[in-house]
C-alpha cells in the first residue's frame, strides 16, 4: 500500500474547516516555574524526515521512549486453599486468525455540532507561545446548532488480539482499542462531538470525543484535542506504528508513537517532548484515556480504579461527604467509603495518587462487564496519576452535558508532574522521553495486579474462588503456586495466551497466610510473580 511508504498527512479537522488560523504567536518571556520536576535530558533520536501539512496552531514535532521497569502493587481480594490444575476458560467469542498484522486506512464517523463558525484563534496568556481556539458560546447558542454527520480519516492497526484506530485530524487521538476476543472497544467512544464548558480555564470549552488524548501545554485536556496532527504510518516485520507529530511552531515539539507488536496484545505508546527554544519552559503534560470497558459504552457502578497508593489528593468533587479540593484522603477506603468504586460516589470525583505514583502500574476494571484496561509506565519519569469520573449520585451532571446518547466514561490520566498544580521545567533545547504499555484485560473477576507479561485477578467459578491470569503474549511454561516458607503447593505445565485467562482454583489451597503465584517461560525464566501476606489484603508483583 502506497500510504505505508510515504508520510500520511491528514490536514484539518472537518468540523473546524471554517476556522481561521490567525497570526503566529511569538514566544513570550519564560513563565514562573511551580514545583518543577526536572526531567532527564535525552539525546534526540534520528527519524525519517516528514513532509508537514499547513499548521493551524502554534505547535511542533517529537518522539519518545523509556524502559518500563516497575510493575506495582494492588488492592485486591480472594480466599483460598489447594488446587486442581489450572483450566483455560474459553474466550467470550473466538479470536479471528487473520489478519495477523495489518495497517490500513479507515474512517471514523460521528455526529458533530457545527461549532467551527463560532471559534476564533487567540494567543494563550498561561502558556506563552501557544494559541488556542476559543468558542463564542453566545453566538453558538443563538445559532440553534444541530449535529451533522461527519467523517474523519483514520489509520487502523490490527493484530490477532487488538484493533487500534488513530484519528490524526481530531487531536491525533487513539479512538479505538478493541479487544478482539470480546469484540469490545475498551475506550469510550462519543458518537456526538458536542462542546462542553470544561477544559482549560483560559479556553473555556472541550470536546469529550473519547479515546486517548495528549494534553499540553496546560493541564485539564490542554489545547490540542481538536487540532490536526501530522501522521506517518510505519510497517516493520514484527510491528506496525503511527508516528504523530503536533502541529508546527515553538516552543514545544511533541511526538507520540503508537505501536502495535505482531505477537502481543499490548499497545505501546512512546513519547518525546522537546523545548525548541533557547529559554526554559514550564510544561504541563498529561495523557488522558477516556474509558468505558465492556459492551455498553458506559461504566457500571461496580467499576473500580486500581491505584497502588495509600493516599490520594482530591482535585475536585461534587460529593459533599468527601474531602475538599487539595485535601488528602486514605485510599482505597476513606471514612467507610470505598473511594476506588465508582458507585460509592454521590457526585463527580477527581483525585491524584499522593504524593505521587508509587509504582508504575494503574488500571480500571469493571467487574460487571468483566473487562478493563491496564497502564504500565515509568513512575520515576511520569509520577502523575489521576482518576476521574462523574459518579452516579445527585452531585453528578447528566450525560446530556457532553453527549446525546446517554453514554458515559471514566478518565485515567498520567502526567510528568504529580498534580495539575505542578509543572516540569524544560530548559532550552532539552527534551524528555518515555514509553508506556497499555492493554485490555477480561475474565479476571476482580483485577488484583498487572505486569509487563501478565495480569492477575480473583474470579469466582463453579468450584469456588480461583486466581485468573491473563498473559500478554502466547507461549508455554510453568505455573507455580507457592505457600508459606516457599512450599510449592501446585506446579503445572501450561499454555497461555491473550485470548483467555488461565484459572487456578483455590479450593483446598492454604492461602490465609503468605503466598505467591509465579509464571515461568519454557526456559524457566520468571515472567510474572505476585506475592501476598494475606490474599485479599494487597500484595506485590514484579514486571
pLDDT at 167: 98
pLDDT tens across 506-527, in order? 865 645 568 899 999 999 999 9
Distance, in Å, from the CA atom of 306 to the CA atom of 319, rounded to the nearest integer, reads 20
Contact assessment for residue 527 and residue 455, using Cβ atoms and an 8 Å cutoff: no
Structure-block grid coordinates of residue 207: 470536546
Give the domain range for residue 423: 98-442
DSSP type of residue 140: H
Where does the pLDDT of residue 464 fall: very low under 50, low under 70, confident under 90, or very high at 90 and above? confident
For residue 352, give the nearest of 408, 303, 446, 417 by alpha carbon: 417
In a domain, 378, yes or no: yes
Asked if the model's pLDDT at residue 97 lies above 60, the reply is: no
| E strand or H helix at 81 | none
Cα separations (Å) of 468 from 89, 388, 540?
Answer: 9, 27, 16
Q: Are residues 144 and 192 in the same domain?
A: yes
pLDDT at 73: 32
For residue 256, give the nearest of 435, 30, 39 by alpha carbon: 435
Asked if the model's pLDDT at residue 25 lies above 70, the reply is: no
Domain count, the chain: 2
Distance, in Å, from the CA atom of 143 to the CA atom of 150, rounded to the nearest integer, reads 19
pLDDT at 32: 28
Contact assessment for residue 443 and residue 370, using Cβ atoms and an 8 Å cutoff: yes
Q: Are residues 424 and 489 in the same domain?
A: no
Distance, in Å, from the CA atom of 197 to the CA atom of 400, rounded to the nearest integer, reads 12
Structure-block grid coordinates of residue 371: 473487562
pLDDT at 95: 46
Higher pLDDT, 512 or 137: 137
Where does the pLDDT of residue 100 fall: very low under 50, low under 70, confident under 90, or very high at 90 and above? confident
In a domain, 140, yes or no: yes
In a domain, 85, yes or no: no
Contact assessment for residue 221 and residue 199, using Cβ atoms and an 8 Å cutoff: yes
Over 223-253, what HEC string results?
CCCCCCCEEEEEECCCEEEEEEECCCCCCEE
What is the pLDDT averaged over residues 182-201? 97
Helices and strands, counts by H and E, the chain: 1, 40
Dihedral pair phi/psi, residue 396, rounded to 5°: -105, 140
Q: Are residues 435 and 484 in the same domain?
A: no
Asked if the model's pLDDT at residue 124 lies above 70, the reply is: yes
Burial of 373 (0-12, 13-18, 19+ CB in 10 A): buried
Contact assessment for residue 81 and residue 506, using Cβ atoms and an 8 Å cutoff: yes
Q: Are residues 435 and 472 in the same domain?
A: no
Burial of 29 (0-12, 13-18, 19+ CB in 10 A): exposed
In a domain, 495, yes or no: yes
User: Which single residue is written with the C-alpha cell 452535558?
Assistant: 401
Beta-carbon count within 10 A of 475 CB: 16
Asked if the model's pLDDT at residue 20 lies above 80, the reply is: no
Distance, in Å, from the CA atom of 242 to the CA atom of 157, rounded to the nearest integer, reads 8
Where does the pLDDT of residue 80 fall: very low under 50, low under 70, confident under 90, or very high at 90 and above? very low
Higher pLDDT, 6 or 128: 128
What is the pLDDT averaged over residues 491-511? 84
Asked if the model's pLDDT at residue 390 lies above 90, the reply is: yes
Of the chain, the end-to-end C-alpha distance in Å amounts to: 37
Asked if the model's pLDDT at residue 3 lies above 60, the reply is: no
Q: Are residues 438 and 485 in the same domain?
A: no
Q: Are residues 432 and 487 in the same domain?
A: no
In a domain, 129, yes or no: yes
* Average pLDDT in the chain: 83
Domain's final residue, options 408, 442, 476: 442
Q: Are residues 360 and 499 in the same domain?
A: no
What is the pLDDT averaged over residues 129-145? 96
Identify the CATH number of the domain in which residue 109 sits.
2.70.98.10
pLDDT at 509: 60
Q: Are residues 435 and 317 in the same domain?
A: yes
Structure-block grid coordinates of residue 6: 510515504
Q: Are residues 231 and 298 in the same domain?
A: yes
Determine the Cα angle at 84 with ends 82 and 87, to 5°.
135
- Give this prediction's pTM: 0.83
pLDDT at 37: 33
For 262-298, strand residue ranges (E) read 267-275, 281-283, 286-291
In a domain, 115, yes or no: yes
Domain's final residue, options 400, 425, 442: 442
Q: Which of 69-78, 266-275, 376-385, 503-512 has the lowest mean pLDDT?
A: 69-78
In a domain, 260, yes or no: yes
Domain's final residue, options 390, 409, 442: 442
Question: CA neighbours within 13 Å on the CB side: how many for 221?
Answer: 25
Q: Dihedral through CA 296, CA 298, CA 300, CA 306, nearest 10? A: 110
Tell me the three state secondary structure of residue 287: strand
Distance, in Å, from the CA atom of 447 to the CA atom of 332, rounded to the nearest integer, reads 14
Asked if the model's pLDDT at residue 410 lies above 70, the reply is: yes
Distance, in Å, from the CA atom of 296 to the CA atom of 286, rounded to the nearest integer, reads 27
Q: Which of 77-86, 220-229, 258-267, 341-350 has the lowest mean pLDDT?
A: 77-86
Asked if the model's pLDDT at residue 242 lies above 90, the reply is: yes
In a domain, 424, yes or no: yes
Q: Are residues 517 and 380 in the same domain?
A: no
Dihedral pair phi/psi, residue 137, rounded to 5°: -65, -35
Q: Are residues 261 and 340 in the same domain?
A: yes
pLDDT at 87: 38
Q: Which of 108-117, 184-193, 505-514 has the lowest mean pLDDT?
A: 505-514
pLDDT tens across 285-325, in order? 999 999 999 999 999 999 999 999 999 999 999 999 999 99
Contact assessment for residue 267 and residue 437, using Cβ atoms and an 8 Å cutoff: yes
Contact assessment for residue 470 and residue 102, using Cβ atoms and an 8 Å cutoff: no
Asked if the model's pLDDT at residue 52 lies above 50, the reply is: no
For residue 66, give the nearest of 46, 40, 48, 38 by alpha carbon: 40
Higher pLDDT, 352 or 12: 352
Determine the Cα angle at 502 with ends 496 and 507, to 5°.
150
Percent of the chain with pLDDT strictly greater than 70: 79
pLDDT at 533: 74
Q: Are residues 471 and 427 in the same domain?
A: no
What is the pLDDT averaged over residues 398-406? 96
Higher pLDDT, 7 or 444: 444
What is the pLDDT averaged over residues 358-362? 95
Amino acid at each position: 500500500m502506497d500510504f505505508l511508504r510515504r508520510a500520511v498527512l491528514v490536514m484539518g479537522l472537518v468540523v473546524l474547516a471554517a476556522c481561521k488560523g490567525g497570526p503566529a504567536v511569538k514566544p513570550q518571556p519564560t513563565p514562573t516555574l511551580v514545583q518543577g520536576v526536572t526531567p532527564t535530558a535525552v539525546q534526540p533520536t534520528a527519524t525519517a524526515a516528514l513532509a508537514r501539512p499547513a499548521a493551524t496552531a502554534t505547535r511542533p514535532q517529537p518522539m519518545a521512549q523509556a524502559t518500563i521497569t516497575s510493575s506495582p502493587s494492588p488492592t485486591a481480594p480472594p480466599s483460598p486453599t489447594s488446587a486442581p490444575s489450572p483450566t483455560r476458560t474459553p474466550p467470550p467469542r473466538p479470536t479471528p486468525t487473520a489478519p495477523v498484522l495489518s495497517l490500513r486506512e479507515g474512517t471514523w464517523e460521528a455526529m458533530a455540532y457545527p461549532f467551527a463558525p463560532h471559534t476564533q484563534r487567540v494567543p494563550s496568556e498561561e502558556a506563552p507561545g501557544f494559541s488556542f481556539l476559543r468558542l463564542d458560546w453566545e453566538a453558538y447558542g443563538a445559532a440553534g446548532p444541530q449535529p451533522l454527520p461527519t467523517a474523519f480519516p483514520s489509520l487502523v492497526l490490527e493484530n490477532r488480539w487488538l484493533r487500534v484506530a488513530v484519528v490524526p485530524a481530531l487531536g491525533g487521538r487513539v479512538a479505538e482499542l478493541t479487544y478482539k476476543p470480546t469484540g469490545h472497544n475498551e475506550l469510550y467512544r462519543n458518537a456526538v462531538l458536542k462542546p462542553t464548558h470544561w477544559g482549560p480555564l483560559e479556553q473555556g470549552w472541550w470536546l469529550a470525543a473519547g479515546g486517548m488524548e495528549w494534553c499540553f501545554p496546560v493541564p485539564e485536556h490542554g489545547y490540542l484535542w481538536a487540532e490536526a496532527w501530522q501522521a506517518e504510518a510505519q510497517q516493520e516485520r514484527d510491528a506496525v506504528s503511527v508516528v504523530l507529530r503536533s502541529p508546527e511552531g515553538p516552543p514545544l515539539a511533541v511526538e507520540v508513537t503508537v505501536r502495535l507488536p505482531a505477537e502481543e496484545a499490548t499497545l505501546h505508546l512512546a513519547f518525546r517532548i522537546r523545548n525548541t527554544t533557547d529559554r526554559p519552559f514550564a510544561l504541563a503534560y498529561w495523557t488522558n484515556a477516556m474509558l468505558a470497558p465492556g459492551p455498553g459504552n458506559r461504566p457500571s457502578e461496580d467499576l473500580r480504579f486500581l491505584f497502588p497508593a495509600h493516599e490520594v489528593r482530591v482535585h475536585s468533587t461534587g460529593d459533599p461527604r468527601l474531602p475538599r479540593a487539595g485535601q488528602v484522603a486514605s485510599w482505597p477506603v476513606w471514612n467507610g467509603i470505598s473511594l476506588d468504586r465508582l458507585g460509592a460516589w454521590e457526585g463527580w470525583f477527581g483525585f491524584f495518587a499522593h504524593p505521587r505514583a508509587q509504582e508504575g502500574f494503574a488500571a480500571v476494571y469493571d467487574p460487571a462487564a468483566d473487562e478493563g484496561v491496564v497502564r504500565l509506565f515509568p513512575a520515576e519519569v511520569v509520577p502523575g496519576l489521576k482518576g476521574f469520573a462523574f459518579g452516579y449520585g445527585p452531585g453528578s451532571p447528566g450525560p446530556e452535558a457532553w453527549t446525546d446518547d446517554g453514554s458515559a466514561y471514566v478518565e485515567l490520566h498520567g502526567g510528568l508532574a504529580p498534580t495539575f498544580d505542578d509543572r516540569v521545567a524544560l530548559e532550552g533545547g532539552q527534551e524528555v522521553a518515555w514509553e508506556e504499555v497499555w492493554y485490555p484485560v477480561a475474565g479476571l473477576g476482580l483485577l488484583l495486579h498487572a505486569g509487563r507479561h501478565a495480569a492477575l485477578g480473583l474470579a469466582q467459578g463453579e468450584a469456588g474462588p480461583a486466581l485468573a491470569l491473563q498473559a500478554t503474549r502466547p507461549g508455554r511454561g510453568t505455573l507455580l503456586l507457592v505457600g508459606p516458607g516457599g512450599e510449592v503447593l501446585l506446579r503445572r505445565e501450561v499454555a497461555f495466551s491473550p485470548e483467555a485467562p488461565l484459572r487456578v482454583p483455590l479450593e483446598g489451597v492454604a492461602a490465609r497466610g503468605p503466598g505467591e503465584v509465579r509464571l515461568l517461560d519454557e526456559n524457566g525464566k520468571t515472567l510474572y510473580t505476585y506475592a501476598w501476606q494475606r490474599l485479599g489484603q494487597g500484595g506485590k508483583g514484579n514486571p
